[in-house]
Amino acid sequence: MDTMLLEYARLQRSVQPYAIVDPSPKNDFAQVATYRTINAAIGAGHTWIRLAAGTHAPFSCAVADVTIEGPKTAIIDGGTTAHAAYITAANFTIRGVTLRTTGGAGNDYDAIHCAASYLTVEQVWIDDADRVGIYVTNGSLHKILDSYISGTDSAGIAIDGTAGGQVYSPTISRCYVGSSALGNGIYFDKVSNGSIHSCQSVSHAGSGIVIGYSGTTQAISIQDNWLASNGAYGLQIYQTGSAGNHNIGNNIYNGNATAAKDQRTNSSTDADEESF
């Protein structure tokens, strides 16, 4: 690669508005103009990162206001050694990509593990996880939208503040959550003012949606969901830990092994619930 082209590649990497991460660059120019790992791009100070197709190493983000995006063919794989994405800073967004860890390996690694506020997950694909697909342990105003989560060992999505502190106002909407081998589909514990809307939660060993197992969980809106073919209930709301005042309506339950619902606490239920 001649000197002029090398300098041009370096200049491009320095002036473009986003960083490109390409784990397998096809030529010398791309080798210089892009980063090999997500951690390298974050470490260089970039907050807008675009992933090329290919298999990417897991990463951690302790910097606020970072956005990572790419095609479904950009696969972030934690394998048996790490969370695919480990987030400890606020206002992190991930969009479009695939994330996974190796299921059945006996390690507690999630596809996305977040311990900060303002997480946005949009149009991601999670097809395997050794523990939880998306695990949020504290913070507020999280959004998980239009995503596919399947093949997890434990819950598909867990918003659980029992260890990290009460979680406020998370939203899960228009997601497919399926086939958790040992756990539930969507799990809320120690959560206030959350919503689960327009999701499919199906074919889990446990229940489709579980609310308030041990921590204080209150004012959850559960609307317009399809809850089917689960090993226990479509919807399970515990009395212990659940402060109630949930708004439940327009959900459809089909073929859940134990019953459509196990509702043990004060909740407002819409008359349009259907079970068959």
pLDDT for position 41: 95
pLDDT (mean) for 198-208: 97
Helix (H), strand (E) at residue 43? helix 38-43
The position carrying tokens 């659940």 is 242
pLDDT (mean) for 35-62: 96
Determine what percent of the chain is predicted with pLDDT higher than 70. 86
Residue pair 115/137 in contact (Cβ under 8 Å)? The answer is yes
Q: Is the pLDDT of residue 163 over 50?
A: yes
Of the candidate ranges 5-14, 165-174, 192-201, the one whose mean pLDDT is the lowest: 5-14
Q: Is the pLDDT of residue 269 over 60?
A: yes
pLDDT (mean) for 169-178: 98
pLDDT for position 209: 97
pLDDT (mean) for 51-75: 98
State the pLDDT confidence band at 242, using cuts at 50, 70 and 90. low
Residue pair 136/119 in contact (Cβ under 8 Å)? The answer is yes
Kindly report the average pLDDT of the chain as a whole number.
89
- Look at residues 4, 3, 35 and name the one whose alpha carbon lies nearest to residue 18: 35
pLDDT for position 8: 46
Of the candidate ranges 160-164, 234-238, 256-260, the one whose mean pLDDT is the lowest: 160-164
Q: Is the pLDDT of residue 221 over 50?
A: yes
Residue pair 253/260 in contact (Cβ under 8 Å)? The answer is yes
Q: What is the CATH number of domain 54-275?
A: 2.160.20.10
Residue pair 153/177 in contact (Cβ under 8 Å)? The answer is no
pLDDT for position 119: 98
> Is the full-model pTM beyond 0.85?
yes
11 contacts: CB under 8 Å, gap ≥ 6: none
State the pLDDT confidence band at 260, using cuts at 50, 70 and 90. very high
First to last CA, the chain: 67
Q: Note the pLDDT tens digit of each residue in 96-141.
A: 999 999 999 888 999 999 999 999 999 999 999 999 999 999 999 9
d(CA 273, CA 262): 14
- Residue boundaries of the structural domains of the chain: 54-275
Distances (CA, A) of 78 to 91, 108, 120, 186, 191: 22, 11, 20, 22, 28
Structure-token pair, residue 212 = 């308030």
Residue pair 82/109 in contact (Cβ under 8 Å)? The answer is yes
